[in-house]
Amino acid sequence: MSRRKGKTSVLTALIIFVGLVSCTNQPQQSFRIGAIPDQNPEKLNRQYKLLCAELSRELKVPVRYKPVTNYPAAVSAFRTGSLDLVWFGGLTGVQARLQKPGAKVIAQRDIDANFRSVFIANTTSGLKQINNINGLQVLNNRRFTFGSESSTSGRLMPQYFLHQAGVKLSDFNGNQPGFSGSHDATIALVQSGSFEAGALNERVWISAIKNGRADPKKVKVIWRSPPYADYHWLAQPNLDQRFGSGFTDRLQSALLGWSDQSSTQGKILELFGARRFIPASIKQYSKIEKVGRDLGKIQ
Amino acid sequence: MNRISLTPPILSLLPALALVPVLAVVVTSVHVGGLQLLFEFFGAAIQPSLDPTVVKSAWRGLQITVATALISWIISTLLGILLGIASASVVWQTCIGKSWPAFLIRRILTIPRAIHELLWGLLLLQLLGLSPWVAILAIIIPYTTLVARVFSDQLDTQDRRALNALLQAGAMPFPALITALGPPIVPILMSYGGYRLECSLRGATLLGVFGLGGIGTDLQLSLQSLAFKEMWTALWMLAAVMLTLEQSINWLRRRQRANETTTNQILITFALMILLMSLGLPWLKGLEIDLSSSISWNPIPWPTLAELIGALNHLQWLKLISSTILLTLLASGIAIGTPPLAMMLWPSRLGIEVQSLIWALLRLIPPPLSLLLLLLSCQPSIAVAAIALGAYNLGVMGRLLKEGLEEQGNSCWKALQASGAGARSSWLYGCLSAQSPSYLAYAAYRTDVILRETVVVGLVGGTGLGWQLIESLGSFNWAQVILLLIVFATITLIGESLSDYTRHRWLRSTQKPALVLDLQS
């Protein structure tokens, strides 16, 4: 029974394969995906097979996951056409789209349309709750850390809000901020007291409080930023030529159709920390682009 | 009469003075806030994660790293030997009677060497996309030129009397070179070549830590989410491989030295390399990494003059350069001065064994990881970055010193002890004394390496040219990247010439030409 099923799927795959080859006139290619995850990166890296199998099942093409964990590396991989679909952060997505004109924003998570950063402080630092953006001036001459240098929620937007409040990077203690490398590291370093304050992705903060990694007695939120659009799936402009017409649309509806009703899809969504994926548009990211240009992260 | 003069053994202890300001800064900023996490980290060492998915992923990563290291080691060693011969003045002088081509080739080769393998990796990625060749080429380019430099240095410092005698007797230049220089150079080459494998392995791991695949990537991901148990799974596996490689190379070398003629040694080694190479390629292919896939060339837009001038004005060069140099000096001081100091303070057999275990551990932990661990209990400063970078290289220097001392034997030490000198001073003048000129020569090489490696800790420390370079790469600001690379290469070249100068001075002050495995990574 299962063997016959296997044969059938092999046959189907072969037919699709031949079909694809004949209509694209190119050797059969795999659909290559990559991701810069914000949460559970190590788990995603290990369980990418789930994601590949699910996409492959729905799109009827072989799907390969290529691990790229470095932000600029992922952008370059997209520019050079080494990846067909990438899960980017806000800033890296804009960088990649500008370097690859015509790239398509496919989807974002339900939580990405109104994403926020939080500023946290060690409880012994004496830093108090901030009520409006100008209150960020209390961070002058404090030891302050961002996360990874290309992170939207851990660096770009926090730096933008600090800038609005009139705090320059050289105003921090030591004349420069730290760059902890990740959101979890930011929590650990602020909680330890090595840095008095830091900024990070709100989702990571919430899950750190939930799983006990952040100790409310030692570290607290002092400011929650206004919302902005963050992570999204970005696809190459030429997918329809390479994988058959309508491929981009099929890809989009596949991602948008995932729900936690299916156990596989539910597991994937859980890895991404989302309930579902929703449509996204380029317009949502125009603010990120402007901020990126103002702060020199986009040329 | 009791004045301590600046003899070599004292000089090799002097760099340890860097510990004074570094420790002063660190001790005043140390705190206990991160203790719990540090306990967690070290506790996780005895109970690494054995979750099958974690182990499987780390195992796959380890294979990629080892295969990458093997392939790039073999190619860079073989190419390096050829280029080394081409840049040795003794070769040119013998063959055409002039040595300027050697000088020219050597200067050209300094440029690829001045850039750290991590930077090569990030730059090649921009140009080649996600090709498996990126990691391999990133190691091959700087390592080939490193091997070439060391090999040509060795050729040029050999005793030339035999060569001259052969030439005067009418031998053809090339056979004369092989006959006269071959036998003394082969053992050096063998031990140095073996050492390069460990360097390649560490290089390949570090590339992974910055996202270029392999076990380093597993390390980086578990570092990002502070999953210490999973991190130790990868660290222990890496330790096992490093130890096995080191032991098998030592075993092979001892066996060969005892049983085989020089020609056979060379033949066996070449055969082994070719065998490993022919295993490495299908091995990577089995891991879904196909080196035969075509490489695409994706040029980056060349910046305009206006952009270059803008970048020149935008960056704070003085601050960037001075903090980079300060970091290099402090880290070098720690790396160079600590091993002899520690061995002097605790010279017993047990002491040395404990120390060499610690050094192995220090070589194992990549600097970004040790920096994060340090930052959990100290406030951020250049001193902390210097310790992280210094500790990694201290592991290498300690190993070198121990190996050198073992080869040298301990008769002088015993004699001094028997004459009633104290344990420490007899170690200092009996053991370290004979070893210190070549130790200082390695130290000069190491300082070059540390300068290049500042790029690795810049990321967390937020200081210096290295950090700025990675930041500019992340902003795709090519004007800044190009200027920073030029500055970086210039400082490296100045540093290299300075260390060349000091090294030559030290070598001249010793009796015999340094029969050293000139080690650098």
Which CATH superfamily is A117-224 part of?
Answer: Periplasmic binding protein-like II (3.40.190.10)
The reported pLDDT for the residue numbered A220 is 96
The reported pLDDT for the residue numbered B349 is 81
The reported pLDDT for the residue numbered A40 is 67
Give contacts of A68 with chain B, Cβ < 8 Å.
130, 211
Pair (B36, B76) in one structural domain: no
Q: Where along chain A do its domains lie? A: 31-112+229-294, 117-224
Which has the higher per-residue pLDDT, B452 or B10?
Answer: B452
Q: Chain A window 134-153: which residues touch B at a Cβ cutoff of 8 Å?
A: 143, 145, 149-150
Pair (B276, B132) in one structural domain: yes
Decide if B291 is inside a domain.
no
Q: Do A181 and B223 touch (CB under 8 A)?
A: yes
The reported pLDDT for the residue numbered B274 is 83
* Mean pLDDT computed over B328-334: 93
Determine the distance from the C-alpha atom of residue B92 to the mean position of all C-alpha atoms in its chain, rounded to a whole number.
Answer: 29
The reported pLDDT for the residue numbered A231 is 93
Q: How far B495 CA sits from the closest chain A CA (Å)? A: 27
Q: How confident is the model at residue B334 (pLDDT cuts 50, 70, 90)?
A: very high
Which has the higher per-residue pLDDT, A241 or A17?
Answer: A241
State both tokens at A44: 């995603």
Q: Is the pLDDT of residue A80 over 50?
A: yes
Q: Which residue of A has its CA nearest to B477?
A: A299
Identify which of B215, B40, B116 has the alpha carbon closest to the alpha carbon of residue B449. B116
Give contacts of B459 with chain A, Cβ < 8 Å.
149, 179, 181
CA distance B200 to B216: 13
CA distance B202 to B191: 17
Tokens 């002899």: give the residue.
B340
Roughly how many angstroms between the first and final C-alpha of chain B, as a whole number? Answer: 42
Which pairs from B49-58 meet CB under 8 Å and 24+ separation? B49/B227, B49/B229, B49/B230, B49/B232, B49/B233, B50/B233, B51/B230, B53/A46, B53/A47, B54/A46, B54/B230, B54/B233, B55/B233, B56/A46, B57/A45, B57/A46, B57/B218, B58/B215, B58/B218, B58/B230, B58/B233, B58/B234, B58/B237
Q: Three-state SS for A8?
A: helix
Q: Of the candidates B224, B252, B286, which is a domain's last residue?
A: B286
Which pairs from B255-262 meet CB under 8 Å and 24+ separation? B256/B190, B257/B187, B262/B182, B262/B183, B262/B186
Judge if A31-112+229-294 and A117-224 fold alike in CATH terms. Answer: yes
Other C-beta atoms within 10 Å of A77: how many? 23
Q: How confident is the model at residue B299 (pLDDT cuts 50, 70, 90)?
A: confident
A82, A177, A192: residue with CB nearest B33: A192
Give me the interface pTM, i.e. the ipTM.
0.84
Pair (B150, B258) in one structural domain: yes
Q: How confident is the model at residue B464 (pLDDT cuts 50, 70, 90)?
A: confident
Q: How confident is the model at residue A51 (pLDDT cuts 50, 70, 90)?
A: confident
Decide if B298 is inside a domain.
no
Average pLDDT, chain B: 82
The reported pLDDT for the residue numbered A296 is 92
Give contacts of B461 with chain A, Cβ < 8 Å.
178
B372, B379, B475: residue with CB nearest A185: B372
Q: Is the pLDDT of residue B5 over 90?
A: no
Q: Do A46 and B227 touch (CB under 8 A)?
A: no
Range from A167-171, B162-166, B458-462 that averages highest in pLDDT: A167-171
Angle at B108 between CA B107 and CA B113, to 5 degrees: 90
Q: Do B462 and A42 touch (CB under 8 A)?
A: no
Roughly how many angstroms between the first and final C-alpha of chain A, as a whole number? Answer: 58
Q: Do B122 and A176 touch (CB under 8 A)?
A: no
Give contacts of B230 with chain A, Cβ < 8 Å.
42
Decide if B3 is inside a domain.
no
CA distance B129 to B456: 22
Domain encompassing residue B65: 48-286
Q: Chain A window 163-192: which residues touch B at a Cβ cutoff of 8 Å?
A: 174, 176-182, 184-185, 188-189, 191-192
Which has the higher per-residue pLDDT, A173 or B407?
Answer: A173
DSSP B256-318: HHHH--HHHHHHHHHHHHHHHHHHHHHHHHHTT--TTSPPP--PPPPPPHHHHHHHHHHS-HH
Q: How far A264 CA sits from the closest chain B CA (Å)? A: 17
Q: How far A48 CA sits from the closest chain B CA (Å)? A: 11
Given CB atoms, is A81 within the 8 Å cutoff of chain B? yes
Give contacts of B37 with chain A, Cβ < 8 Å.
188, 192
Q: Count of CB contacts below 8 A, A vs B? A: 154
Q: Give Cβ neighbours of residue B1 (< 8 Å, ≥ 6 apart).
A: none
Which has the higher per-residue pLDDT, A22 or A177?
Answer: A177
The reported pLDDT for the residue numbered A15 is 47
A42, A76, A150: residue with CB nearest B225: A42
pLDDT cut 70: percent of chain A above it: 88
Given CB atoms, is A68 within the 8 Å cutoff of chain B? yes
CA distance B357 to B378: 25
pLDDT cut 90: percent of chain A above it: 66
The reported pLDDT for the residue numbered A24 is 41
The reported pLDDT for the residue numbered A19 is 41
Pair (B273, B309) in one structural domain: no
| CATH number of the structural domain spanning residue B408 | 1.10.3720.10
The reported pLDDT for the residue numbered B458 is 66
Give contacts of B222 with chain A, Cβ < 8 Å.
42
> For chain B, how many structural domains are there in total?
2
Bridge partners of A221, per DSSP, are A120
**Whole-structure pTM value:** 0.86
Q: Do A185 and B218 touch (CB under 8 A)?
A: no
Q: How confident is the model at residue A28 (pLDDT cuts 50, 70, 90)?
A: low
Q: Is the pLDDT of residue B70 over 80?
A: yes
* Mean pLDDT computed over B305-328: 90
Pair (B336, B474) in one structural domain: yes
Identify which of A186, A128, A132, A163 has the alpha carbon closest to the alpha carbon of residue A294. A163
Average pLDDT, chain A: 87
- Asked if A153 contacts A117 with a C-beta cutoff of 8 angstroms, the reply is yes
Q: Give Cβ neighbours of residue B448 (< 8 Å, ≥ 6 apart).
A: B492, B495, B496, B499, B520
Range from A24-38, A66-80, B166-180 that averages highest in pLDDT: A66-80
B112-139: b (≥16 Cβ within 10 Å) or e:
bbbbbbbbbbbbbbbbbbbbbbbbbbbb
Q: Is the pLDDT of residue B455 over 90?
A: no
The reported pLDDT for the residue numbered A215 is 93
> What is residue A115's DSSP assignment?
B
Pair (B478, B346) in one structural domain: yes
Alpha-carbon distance values, B517 to B193, B194, B431, B513 (Å) = 9, 10, 19, 12
Q: Do A41 and B224 touch (CB under 8 A)?
A: yes
Decide if B265 is inside a domain.
yes
Other C-beta atoms within 10 Å of B8: how many? 19
Angle at B65 between CA B64 and CA B66, to 5 degrees: 95
Give contacts of B288 with chain A, Cβ < 8 Å.
64
Give contacts of A143 with chain B, Cβ < 8 Å.
379-380
CA distance B390 to B336: 8
A73, A79, A184: residue with CB nearest B298: A79
Give contacts of B380 with chain A, Cβ < 8 Å.
143, 145, 174, 178, 194-195
Alpha helices, H only, A60-136: 71-79, 90-99
Identify which of B80, B20, B16, B116 has the alpha carbon closest to the alpha carbon of residue B401. B16
Give contacts of A176 with chain B, Cβ < 8 Å.
462-463
CA distance B473 to A95: 12
Question: How many residues are given for chain A?
Answer: 299
Range from A69-73, B93-97, B186-190, B225-229 that averages highest in pLDDT: B225-229
The reported pLDDT for the residue numbered A16 is 46
The reported pLDDT for the residue numbered A46 is 67
Decide if B294 is inside a domain.
no
The reported pLDDT for the residue numbered A21 is 41
The reported pLDDT for the residue numbered B235 is 92
- The phi, psi pair for A140, rounded to 5°, reads -50, 130
* Mean pLDDT computed over A53-58: 92
Q: Do A194 and B380 touch (CB under 8 A)?
A: yes
The reported pLDDT for the residue numbered B521 is 38
Given CB atoms, is A71 within the 8 Å cutoff of chain B? yes
Q: How confident is the model at residue B516 (pLDDT cuts 50, 70, 90)?
A: very low
* Mean pLDDT computed over B249-271: 75
B37, B463, B476: residue with CB nearest A192: B37
Q: Is the pLDDT of residue B84 over 60?
A: yes
Q: Of the candidates B253, B286, B319, which is a domain's last residue?
A: B286
Q: Is the pLDDT of residue B250 over 50?
A: yes
State both tokens at B232: 């130790």
CA distance B383 to B388: 9
The reported pLDDT for the residue numbered A256 is 94
Identify the burial level of B68 via C-beta atoms within 10 angstroms of its C-beta, where 0-12 means exposed, 13-18 middle and 19 or more buried: buried
B125, B379, B474: residue with CB nearest A194: B379
Q: How confident is the model at residue A287 (pLDDT cuts 50, 70, 90)?
A: very high
Task: Pick from A38, A187, A194 the residue to mutate for testing the B interface (most B CBs within 10 Å).
Answer: A194
CA distance A201 to B82: 52
Which has the higher per-residue pLDDT, B92 or A147?
Answer: A147
Q: Of the candidates B231, B251, B286, which is a domain's last residue?
A: B286
pLDDT in tens, B11-39: 778 888 888 888 888 888 888 888 888 88
The reported pLDDT for the residue numbered A7 is 53
* Mean pLDDT computed over B407-426: 74
Pair (B252, B314) in one structural domain: no
- Asked if B398 contacts B357 with a C-beta cutoff of 8 angstroms, the reply is no
CA distance B240 to B251: 16
3-state helix, strand, coil in chain B (%, to 5): 80, 0, 20
CA distance A294 to A275: 33
Alpha-carbon distance values, A102 to A229, A236, B475 (Å) = 20, 8, 20
Give contacts of A192 with chain B, Cβ < 8 Å.
31, 33-34, 37, 375-377
pLDDT in tens, A135-181: 999 999 999 999 988 899 999 999 999 999 999 988 998 888 999 88
Pick the CATH number of A31-112+229-294 from 3.40.190.10, 3.40.50.12280, 2.60.40.10, 3.20.20.140: 3.40.190.10
Q: Do B210 and A70 touch (CB under 8 A)?
A: yes
Q: Which residue of A has its CA nearest to B378?
A: A194
pLDDT in tens, B107-131: 888 888 888 888 888 888 888 887 7
The reported pLDDT for the residue numbered A57 is 92
Identify which of B290, B381, B397 has the alpha carbon closest to the alpha carbon of residue B339. B397
Pair (B111, B139) in one structural domain: yes
Range from A199-208, B252-261, B351-360, B490-499 that averages highest in pLDDT: A199-208
CA distance B244 to B191: 16
Give the strand pairing for A178-179 and A104-109: unpaired
Tokens 């994937």: give the residue.
A268
Pair (B313, B239) in one structural domain: no
Q: How far B79 CA sits from the closest chain A CA (Å)? A: 28
Identify which of B89, B101, B105, B100 has the alpha carbon closest to the alpha carbon of residue B163. B89
CA distance B519 to B514: 12
The reported pLDDT for the residue numbered A22 is 40
Q: How far B213 CA sits from the closest chain A CA (Å)? A: 7
> What is the helix (H) or strand (E) element at residue A221, kind and residue range?
strand A219-224
Give the strand pairing for A144-146 and A31-35: unpaired
Angle at A223 between CA A220 and CA A227, to 5 degrees: 130
Decide if B255 is inside a domain.
yes
Tokens 């499987």: give the residue.
B56
Q: Is the pLDDT of residue B479 over 80?
A: yes
* Mean pLDDT computed over B409-438: 75
Pair (B314, B180) in one structural domain: no
* Mean pLDDT computed over B505-518: 50
CA distance A212 to B313: 47
The reported pLDDT for the residue numbered B6 is 60
pLDDT in tens, A225-246: 999 999 999 999 999 999 999 9
Pair (B272, B333) in one structural domain: no
Q: Give Cβ neighbours of residue A51 (< 8 Å, ≥ 6 apart).
A: A33, A44, A63, A65, A268, A271
Pair (B149, B280) in one structural domain: yes
- Asked if A198 contacts A144 with a C-beta cutoff of 8 angstroms, the reply is yes
